[in-house]
Amino acid sequence: MSDFNEASATRQISPGVHAADINSTWSVGDVPNGGYLLALMLRAALAESAYPHPVSTTAHFVTPPTPGPAEVRVDSLRTGRTVETLRVSLVQDDTPRVESVVTTSTLSRTAPAEWVGPPPEPVAPVDECIPAVVDLPDGTHVGLLEHVDLRLDPQTLGWFSGRPAGQLSMRGHVRLADGTQPDPVVLALAVDALPPTVFGLGRLGWAPTVELSVLTRGLPAPGWLSVHLRGRLVRDGWFDEEAEVYDAEGTLVAQSRQLARIRVT
């Protein structure tokens, strides 16, 4: 079993209830990464679902979980001819930590696109990007990057050397260090694997996600994923972040939007 598959695995202990073990190293500082937690929850949801792929996932991060044992509780709200909607809760000590609604269906890699919008600003080629390091300038240890091979576009990396670009933007290439190829569960991790866009304003450090929504738009081809992050507004301690994820063939395979907190200075 691969590093990622093992870290995000769940085990059914009764109908709709799965045991999980939150791995302490898939974290930013001492807090488990939100995309990793979503991946873990999706494992349980797909094990209970009549359909194989998540197409829409909306999660609210109620209170940070801690590494160690947890339960994932899955309730089917409705099953139709092509989709199923499920409520998924990550619980520790009988306290909800993450609450999610997941819609599942069946995706196809061969379905043609009827219309495609203009692409975002391209990411620099992988060999021109800078490998991310596990320790940030403020001293935060990003254990997630022990498992994720992340290469950042130099144009969005000025914050690391004290020269932020002054905009909510981050771009890079992502793949799992253990060689696991991308799938819809990996995409949930990928949308939250880059540094927060507010780093582009020189605002490093604490930036917890409050709500994260992920749309799975296709089954990704093997290889690197290209991730584009953009934000629109920072106000009153809140900022937003939108992601587009493209596979190695240049196909849009995931989109996300999240709302996060930032320390008011």
Task: State pLDDT tens for residues 186-201.
Answer: 999 999 999 999 999 9
Place of tokens 């994720």: 148
Q: Does 216 map to a domain?
A: yes
The secondary structure of residue 62, as a DSSP letter, is -
Q: Which two tokens stand for residue 87?
A: 């409520």
Which pLDDT score, from 0 to 100, does residue 162 have? 84
Q: Is the pLDDT of residue 1 over 70?
A: no
CATH number, position 145 = 2.40.160.210
Report pLDDT digits (tens) over 22-68. 999 999 989 999 999 999 999 999 999 999 999 999 999 999 999 99
**Structural domain range at position 236:** 3-107+123-261
Predicted pLDDT of residue 205: 78
Q: How many domains are contained in the chain?
A: 1
Cβ atoms within 10 Å of 84's Cβ, excluding its own = 18
Q: What is the pLDDT of residues 6-16, one digit of tens each?
A: 999 999 999 99
DSSP 98-136: EEEEEEEE---TTPPPS------SPPPPGGGSEE--SB-
Q: Specify the amino acid at residue 141.
A: H
Specify if 113 maps to a domain. no
